[in-house]
Amino acid sequence: MGLNFPNSKRSYDEDGDCIRFVGHDGPFQVSFSIAVAALRADHKTEQGYLSAFDAALQRIRGAATKMYGRTRKNHYRLFAADLS
């Protein structure tokens, strides 16, 4: 079927130092997180990280789709190198 992102919800995880979001492949949910260090946030706050995530959303989803296409696991963590 293929990975898609019907839900635009994302959340900041302070303990994990990342932004979490999900994708779906048919009935299967796939969890993703991206390290906040990978985001070009103007402000090092929750809102700053979420805004940076939103600004890079297409690149982040593209990287997530590429990763998922290689291994089809149920959780992935993205880093700056994954966005290039």
CATH number given to 3-83: 3.30.160.140
Beta strands in the chain (DSSP E): 3-4, 10-13, 18-25, 28-35, 75-78
Q: At what angle do helices 46-55 and 57-71 cross, to 10 degrees?
A: 70
pLDDT in tens, the chain (84 residues): 689 999 899 999 999 999 999 999 999 999 999 999 999 888 999 999 999 999 999 999 999 999 999 998 999 999 999 998
pTM of the shown model = 0.93
